[in-house]
Amino acid sequence: MASLNFDNRFIRELPGDPLTVNQTRQVSAAFWSTVTPTPVSQPQLIASSADAAMLLGLTPADLQQPEWVAALSGNGLLTGMSPFATCYGGHQFGNWAGQLGDGRAISLGEILHDQLRWELQLKGAGPTPYSRRADGRAVLRSSIREFLCSEAMFHLGVPTTRALSLVLTGDAIWRDMFYDGNPKAEPGAIVCRVAPSFIRFGHFQLPAMRGELSQLNQLIDFTIDRDFPHLLAEPAEQRRALWFREICTTTAKLMVEWTRVGFVHGVMNTDNMSILGLTIDYGPYGWVDNFDLHWTPNTTDAEGLRYCFGRQPAIARWNLQRLAEALATVIPDQAIFSEGLTAFDEVFALEMGNMLAAKLGWQQWQPEDSELVNRLFDLLQQVEVDMTLFFRLLADIDVYAPDLSLLAEAFYRDDLWRQYQPACSQWLNDYCARVLVEGELPVDRVARMEKVNPLYVLRNYLAQQVIEAAEQGDYQPIAELLAVLRSPYTEQPGKAAYAQKRPDWARHKPGCSMLSCSS
C-alpha cells in the first residue's frame, strides 16, 4: 500500500483546546479539540468510492485492508493521523445558536497527494466535546444518503465534499425519526468524507461573536494561506477583500449549480456553508421530482419553507451577510463587504443566465429570454412536471416541427396535462422559434443540452430503495446505483429503471418526499 503523506496544518497552526477529556463543553479561544473516535463492535466496509480513493493515491482494495477498515470505522489510526473535532457556531433557521462544532465529525488529518490537500473526516464515529446532548453517531440510512450524494454531485460537476467509504458499525443506535416519541433501534454507520477544507462560515462567526478577535484574525490568515493559496500572489492589503469576494462568487456559482440539477440542501444554516463553496453536510436534502420552487424535503422546514428550492440563492446571500458581519469585527473597510455582495449578485445573474441558456439549448442568454423562462417555470410548477425528464426530453424536440406529445412522459398528472396542453403547446412553439433565431445545427443544441441536463440523479425514492435493501443486509444496490450515477449525462444501456419519474407510491412516503433531521 502506498504510504500517505500527512500534513496536519489545521491542528499545527491554529490554537487548540488545552483539555483533552472527551466531555461536552464550551471551548473558547480555540478552533479544535483532540478527540479519539469511539471504537465500534463489528466494522464492515459496505461501500467505497474508487474515484475518491484515487484522490489519495489509493484503490478500493487498499481500503479493504484491516488497518484501513479500522481507521475508517474509528477503531484504529494509521501513522500520521491525529484526530480532532473543530469548534464553530452558526445561525440555525435564522437564529444565532452559539457554539455548535463537530458533534459527530472527527477529522483524522490532512493528506497531501499530487500537490493537493485532502482532509479525511469520519462522520458518526462517536461523541466529541461538541456533541451537546447527542450521541455522535449516524444511522445507516443517512450515511448511505451522504455517501451516494457526495459522489453523485461530484460526477454531476457540482462542487462538493467527497465520500471515500461507508462502514457499518455493527452497533444499534436509537432514533426518533418522526419525532413522535417512538424511538427505534437502527443500524449505525460511518462515512469517511474527504475535502480540501471543512471550514465553514460558522468557524468565523463564533470567535467574532465572542470577541476573540486575535483568534479570528488568525483563522482568516490561516484560511487564505491554506485554502486560497492563489491569493498569496496578490498584494497583502488586497487579500482579504479578494478573499471575501471569492467566497461570494463561489457561493453564487454553487447556487446556480444546485438550481441546474434540482438539488435542495434542506438545512442551509451558516454552519453548513463551506468557505470553499462546496456542498457540505448532506442531511435532509432532496432532489426535485416535479418542478416546485416551494418544495423542501426537510420536515422541520415544512411550515416556514425557509430552505425551499427557490429560496436557496437568497438564503446563501443572507448567510454571506452573516459571514460579513463576523469578518467586519476585524476588517474595518466596510466597502469590502458591499463589493463582495454585489459580486454575488452579478455573478449569480450572469451564471444563472448562462446556465438556463445551456439547459434550454440556446447559445447565448438574452435579457428578453426571462419572459420565456418565467412562463416555463410557471407552467412546470402548475402542471406537475418532472424537472429532470422534462429537460432531457426537450432536447429531442424537432424545432422545425414541435410535437408536445414527446414531452408527455415527464408529466405527473393526466388531468393537468390535458388541461394545460394549449398553454404548453404555445410555450413550446415560442421556445422553438427562439432556438431557430440562433440558426444553429440541431445536433449542436442537443449536445449542449445533454452536457448540462442529467438523465440520472439521486432521486429520493432511488436512495430509499437502496436504503431498504441495505437495512435487509443487501449492500450490492449501493454500488449499482453509484455506478450509474458516475455517468449522469450519458444514457446507459439497461439502466432505464434509474431514469424514471417518481412512482406514485413514493409521493408521500417518508424518506422519499419528506426527510427528517433525525439522522
Q: Which of residues 269-288 bind Mg ion (CB under 5 A)?
A: 272, 281
Residues that bind ligand AMP (rule: CB under 6 A) add up to a total of 16
Q: Which does 31 bind (CB under 5 to 8 A by kind): ligand AMP, Mg ion, none?
A: none
CB of 171 or CB of 234, closer to ligand AMP: 171
Residues 459 and 454: their CA atoms lie apart, in Å, by 12
Instruction: Decide: is 102 part of the binding site for ligand AMP (CB under 6 A).
Output: yes
Q: Which of residues 107-146 bind Mg ion (CB under 5 A)?
A: none
Give the number of other CB atoms < 10 A from CB of residue 333: 11
What is the closest distance, in whole angstroms, from the C-beta atom of residue 325 to Mg ion in the complex?
20
Angle, nearest 10°, between helix axes 335-360 and 236-261? 30
Q: Which does 60 bind (CB under 5 to 8 A by kind): Mg ion, ligand AMP, none?
A: none
* Interface pattern 254-283 for ligand AMP (x via CB under 6 A): -------------x-x--x--------x-x
Q: Is 120 within 8 Å of 129 (Cβ atoms)?
A: no
Instruction: Decide: is 286 part of the binding site for ligand AMP (CB under 6 A).
Output: no
Q: What angle do CA 124, 94, 350 make, to 5 degrees?
A: 95
Scan for cell 461573536, then name that residue: 209
Instruction: Decide: is 136 part of the binding site for ligand AMP (CB under 6 A).
Output: yes
User: Is 398 part of the annotated catalytic residue set?
Assistant: no
What is the closest distance, in whole angstroms, from the C-beta atom of residue 346 to ligand AMP in the complex?
30
3-state secondary structure of 173: strand
CB of 260 or CB of 311, closer to ligand AMP: 311
Instruction: Decide: is 134 part of the binding site for ligand AMP (CB under 6 A).
Output: yes
Distance of CA 356 to the CA centre of its chain: 21
Instruction: Decide: is 185 part of the binding site for ligand AMP (CB under 6 A).
Output: no
| Catalytic-labelled residue, pool 271, 281, 289, 386 | 271
What is the closest distance, in whole angstroms, from the C-beta atom of residue 519 to ligand AMP in the complex?
7
What is the closest distance, in whole angstroms, from the C-beta atom of residue 123 to ligand AMP in the complex?
9
- Please name the amino acid found at residue 310: G
Residues 103 and 354: their CA atoms lie apart, in Å, by 39
Stretch in the footprint of ligand AMP (CB under 6 A) among 71-79, 99-107, 313-321, 493-501 = 99-107
Closest residue to Mg ion using C-beta atoms: 281
CB of 186 or CB of 281, closer to Mg ion: 281
φ/ψ of 209, rounded to 5, equals -65, -30
- Tell me the C-alpha to C-alpha distance, in Å, between residue 408 and each of 120, 314, 386, 453: 45, 33, 10, 18
Among residues 91, 137, 155, 359, which is the contact residue for ligand AMP, using CB under 6 A?
A: 137
CB of 249 or CB of 272, closer to Mg ion: 272
Q: Which of residues 103-132 bind ligand AMP (CB under 6 A)?
A: 103-104, 130-131
Burial (CB count within 10 angstroms: exposed 0-12, middle 13-18, buried 19+), residue 112 = middle
CB of 198 or CB of 244, closer to ligand AMP: 198
What is the closest distance, in whole angstroms, from the C-beta atom of residue 135 to ligand AMP in the complex?
5
Give the number of other CB atoms < 10 A from CB of residue 465: 17
Closest residue to ligand AMP using C-beta atoms: 103
Give the number of other CB atoms < 10 A from CB of residue 178: 14
User: 3-state SS string over 73-130?
Assistant: HCCCCCCCCCCEEECCEEEECCEEEEECCCCCEEEEEEEEECCEEEEEEEECCCCCCC
DSSP H or E segment with residue 222: helix 213-227
Instruction: Decide: is 437 part of the binding site for ligand AMP (CB under 6 A).
Output: no
Alpha carbons within 13 A on the beta-carbon side of 11:
22
DSSP H or E segment with residue 32: strand 32-34
CB of 135 or CB of 440, closer to ligand AMP: 135
CB of 89 or CB of 488, closer to ligand AMP: 89
What is the closest distance, in whole angstroms, from the C-beta atom of residue 269 to ligand AMP in the complex?
6
Instruction: Decide: is 351 part of the binding site for Mg ion (CB under 5 A).
Output: no
**Grid cell for residue 435:** 432556438
CB of 14 or CB of 138, closer to Mg ion: 138
Q: Which does 283 bind (CB under 5 to 8 A by kind): Mg ion, ligand AMP, none?
A: ligand AMP
What is the closest distance, in whole angstroms, from the C-beta atom of residue 255 to ligand AMP in the complex?
19
φ/ψ of 476, rounded to 5, equals -55, -40
Residues 298 and 296: their CA atoms lie apart, in Å, by 5
Contact footprint for Mg ion (CB under 5 A): 272, 281
Q: Which residues here bind ligand AMP, judged by CB under 6 A?
A: 100-104, 130-131, 134-137, 267, 269, 272, 281, 283
Which residues participate in catalysis according to the annotation? 271
